[in-house]
């Protein structure tokens, strides 16, 4: 066993993100290595990965071409400064991503994470209105139950109370659309729910309250992932686009989860036939192998900044690691895999068998809803009395320790979103194991 996968003897120093630190340190769920659809514990126990790591390992784990691209790039050039200098792979990757995006979404700004992608998109929106002479457009509109990462901009437009309430006032000028989820109307629907397109009309009311001249942008996830797989109702995103056009609001799709194949297309924008003004991406761009994120921007938005003296910086924003060479190498190799192995088409082909399998869990103890779209599903469990989230946590722990499957939880919802290289055997195994975990916990 290599040094890197030996169990540590002291877990105390590491403050784990978005984790129950004390329970983990009492009963660790430690992972040591990974290959294709599987994780292995440091002791060598094999688990099927039903979460694509954290919604990101779309091409599967340890793909040799991605590993080699990272190794080669590290040997060739470890770092190059992204401000005022460039390296070829950043331009190549931007071109490849732009080619995957619909319409005139043809410029790419690189960040290092999804949170930074969101904050970057919000800043582009504000600055865009400034440079086009509409500086009063400062309000940003998010949605209840939206997740847009953990930056101050992201938590302001996000709609998860637990992620907001401890952190002061964040950005002041925000408002929120209502969630698209309604359990009475939508429980156990398959794919995009029929009910709910009218909820986009709430944007008209928000415009009525604040006036369009004060609103910069609207940001939504085409499928809200982190709050438990809430697919967009049929027609909802199209309606949002119409209202944004009517009032000159920029529409931002946060595709950090839905980008790079999760819904069977390069971007969900393509699935829904809607061209937003910006797309935020991260995760799948490198298949999770190196941190990277970014924003794809429509040509006219980019062009609006390309004014003034040519020696001057047009947009005062960027990160030391924007377009990092290792991330670009991983991104180019991941896009090659997506293309050569037709991984997005595989996701599309597997959508129906996946849907059938996850809905077979209806009737298990505590299951109150099952939702799915693309290769993403949530099995909602009723919470234990006075202990929201405990039942979901117990299922995750049981799944890891005794059923050999790694899942995600969103409160009391079990979330399944495996790598997009899955086949019907993987689907059967995952759903069988998740079912056993739900039954075992009761
Ligand atoms: C829709 C969405 N936006 C933003 C983020 C934040 O990405 P990151 O954790 O890379 O900062 C996430 C993470 O899950 C996400 O799902």
* Residue 254 alpha carbon, nearest atom of ligand 1: 1
Q: Read off the pLDDT of residues 247-292 as tens digits, 9 standing for 90 and up.
A: 999 999 999 999 999 999 999 999 999 999 999 999 999 999 999 9
Give the integer Cα–Cα distance in Å for 104 and 99: 9
SS3 347: helix
Domains, in order of start, for the chain: 3-59+342-441 (3.90.1150.10), 67-340 (3.40.640.10)
Nearest CA owner, ligand 1 atom 3: 148
pLDDT score recorded for residue 5: 58
Residue 283 DSSP class: G
Asked if 401 contacts 17 with a C-beta cutoff of 8 angstroms, the reply is no
Q: Hey, what are 41's tokens?
A: 């514990």
Nearest CA owner, ligand 1 atom 5: 149
Give the integer Cα–Cα distance in Å for 96 and 278: 16
Residue 248 DSSP class: T
pLDDT score recorded for residue 172: 86
What are φ and ψ of residue 440, in 5° steps? -65, -35
- What is the arrangement of strands in the sheet containing 38-40, beginning at the earlier edge strand? 33-35, 38-40, 46-49, 405-406
* Residue 117 alpha carbon, nearest atom of ligand 1: 4
pLDDT score recorded for residue 170: 83
Q: What is the largest CA-CA distance in the chain?
A: 67
What are φ and ψ of residue 296, in 5° steps? -95, 130
H/E element, 321: none
Nearest CA owner, ligand 1 atom 8: 114
Establish whether residue 226 lines the binding site of ligand 1, counting it when its CB lies within 6 angstroms of any ligand atom: yes
Establish whether residue 142 lines the binding site of ligand 1, counting it when its CB lies within 6 angstroms of any ligand atom: no
- In which residue ranges of the chain is pLDDT below 70? 1-7, 9
Establish whether residue 282 lines the binding site of ligand 1, counting it when its CB lies within 6 angstroms of any ligand atom: yes
Asked if 294 contacts 129 with a C-beta cutoff of 8 angstroms, the reply is no
Nearest CA owner, ligand 1 atom 12: 149
Q: Hey, what are 45's tokens?
A: 């126990």
Residue 198 DSSP class: G
């Amino acid at each position: 066993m290599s040094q890197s996968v030996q169990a540590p003897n002291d877990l105390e120093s590491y403050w784990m993100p978005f984790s129950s630190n004390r329970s983990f340190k009492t009963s660790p769920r430690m992972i040591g290595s990974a290959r294709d659809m599987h994780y292995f514990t440091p002791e060598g126990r094999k688990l099927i990965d039903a979460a694509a790591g954290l919604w990101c390992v779309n091409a599967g784990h340890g793909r040799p071409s991605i590993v080699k691209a990272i190794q080669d790039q590290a040997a060739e050039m470890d770092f190059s400064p992204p401000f005022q200098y460039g390296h070829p792979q950043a331009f190549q990757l931007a071109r490849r991503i732009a080619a995957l995006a619909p319409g005139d979404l043809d410029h790419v700004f690189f960040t290092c994470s999804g949170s930074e992608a969101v904050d970057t998109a919000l800043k582009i929106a504000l600055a865009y209105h400034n440079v086009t002479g509409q500086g009063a457009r400062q309000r940003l509109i998010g949605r209840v139950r939206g997740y847009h990462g953990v930056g101050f901009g992201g938590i302001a437009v996000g709609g998860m109370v637990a992620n907001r309430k401890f952190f002061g006032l964040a950005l002041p000028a925000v408002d929120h659309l209502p969630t698209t989820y309604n359990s009475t109307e939508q429980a156990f629907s398959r794919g995009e729910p029929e009910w709910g397109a009218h909820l986009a009309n709430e944007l008209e009311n928000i415009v009525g309250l604040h006036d369009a001249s004060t609103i910069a942008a609207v940001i939504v996830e085409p499928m809200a992932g982190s709050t438990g797989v809430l697919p967009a109702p049929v027609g909802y995103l199209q309606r949002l686009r119409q209202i944004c056009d009517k009032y000159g609001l920029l529409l931002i799709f946060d595709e950090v989860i839905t980008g790079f194949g999760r819904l069977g297309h390069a971007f969900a924008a393509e699935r829904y036939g809607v061209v937003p003004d910006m797309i935020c991406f991260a995760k799948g761009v490198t298949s999770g192998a190196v941190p990277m994120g970014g924003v794809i921007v429509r040509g006219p938005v980019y062009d609006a900044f390309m004014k003034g003296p040519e020696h001057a910086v047009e947009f005062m924003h960027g990160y030391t690691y924007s377009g990092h060479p290792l991330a670009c190498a991983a991104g180019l190799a991941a896009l090659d895999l997506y293309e050569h192995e037709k991984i997005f088409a595989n996701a599309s082909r597997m959508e129906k068998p996946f849907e059938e399998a996850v809905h077979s869990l209806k009737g298990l103890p505590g299951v109150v809803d099952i939702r799915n779209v693309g290769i993403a599903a949530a099995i909602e469990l009723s919470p234990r009395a006075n202990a929201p989230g405990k039942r979901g946590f117990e299922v995750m722990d049981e799944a890891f320790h005794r059923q050999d499957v790694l899942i995600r939880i969103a409160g009391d919802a079990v979330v399944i979103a495996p790598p997009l290289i899955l086949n019907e055997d993987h689907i059967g195994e995952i759903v069988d194991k998740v079912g056993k975990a739900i039954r075992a916990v009761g």
